[in-house]
Structures are given as structure tokens and as C-alpha cells.
Amino acid sequence: MLAILGLGFVLGVRHALDADHVAAVSTLVTRTRSVRASSLAGAVWGLGHTLALIVMALLVVFLEIHLPARVAALLELAVAAMLVALGVDLLRRRRSDAPAPSFRARRPFLIGMLHGLAGSASLTLALLAAIPERWLALGYVAAFGLGSIGGMAAMTAVLCVPLGRLPRALGTGTALASITIGALLAWDVGRSAGWIT
């Protein structure tokens, strides 16, 4: 049991470093000089991500409700659109020299929830195949979530140093990276779902 929970935690930390997650939170901590505020934004992102995963795991494990493939694809597409929107918003703020927004928990929490919902289908299907005991499966998801909270909090604390202090070009690059990753993700989802031939 401890090995399964430990594996869940480690994989959660690794999951926090996925390109789409890094792109999303990078747009949030750009021009934030406070390590504390940045790590808090990352932790709140992880909390939203974890809450979505736990809710979906409860539905799958206890009610045997599975997300249809089409709904899972639409959620992934929503993440792609969100990445593009975050990049465009950052470009707009950089161009207008708008001050960095003060910390608000709602934005990273909702972004984390959307990421969690989009990734829940594959995680819960793998979970049921690998861990037949219900409570252990939920424990794994909780450990995975704690890992993602810790991983994202640490990553955003590290990211705020260059993104908050280096020249405008780095913030512009962060915005363009978010837009590019969102566009590539949308293309990949469209091809996988058969919407693009």
C-alpha cells in the first residue's frame, strides 16, 4: 500500500511538470516578484487539479460513471483554448505595461480544475485497471494530487525568479509559448478525435 501511495505522489510531482501545466502557470507568475505569491498560485492550481481528479475518481470508483471519449476530447480542447487565451492575455498586458495583477486564488484554482478534468479520463481508467481496491485507488489519487500540489508550488516558486525580473522579451516568449502549446494541443486533440483529417 505504501509503495502504491508513494508512486502516486512521485507521479503527481512529475505530472505537474507537463508542458501544458508549465505553460499555464508561467503566464500567471510572469512579473510576480514574490516567491511566496508564486508558490501559492502553484499550490492553488494543484488544489483545483486535485479536487477535479478526486471528484472524477469518486464517480468512477463508486458509481462507475465514465467520461465518454467525446467529452474527454472536448475538455482537452477547452484546455488548449485556455492556454491560447492565457497567452493572448499576457501579450495584451505586456503591451500595455499593465501592472502584474495581485494574487487572486480563483484564477489558478479554476485553471487547475480544468486541467484536472481534462486529464481525469485516462487517469481513472488506468487506476481501475491497476488497483481493484476502491479505497486504495482513491488513496492513490489523493497522493497523486498532493504530489501535483507540491510539484507545482515548487516549480512556480522557481519560475517567478526569472519571469518576474528579466526583460520584457521573456514575458513575451512565455505568452507565445503558451499560445503555441495550446494550438499544438488543439491540433493533436482534433486529429485523435477524428475531427481533423
Give me the pLDDT at residue 146, please: 92
- The full set of domain ranges for the chain reads 2-193
Residue-wise pLDDT tens digits, 110-160: 999 998 888 775 666 666 667 778 888 888 888 988 999 999 998 888 877
**Residue type at 47?**
L
Residue 132: C-alpha distances to residues 8, 66, 128 (Å): 15, 16, 6
pTM for this prediction: 0.82
- Assigned C-alpha cell, 84: 491560447
Q: Is the pLDDT of residue 105 over 70?
A: yes
Question: How many helices (DSSP H) and strands (DSSP E) are in the chain?
Answer: 7, 0
Most confident by average pLDDT, 84-88, 97-101, 156-160: 84-88
Residue 4: C-alpha distances to residues 8, 14, 27, 160 (Å): 6, 15, 33, 33
Give me the pLDDT at residue 83, please: 94
What average pLDDT does the structure give for the chain? Answer: 82
Give me the pLDDT at residue 96, please: 63
Burial of 68 per CB tally in 10 Å (0-12, 13-18, 19+)? exposed
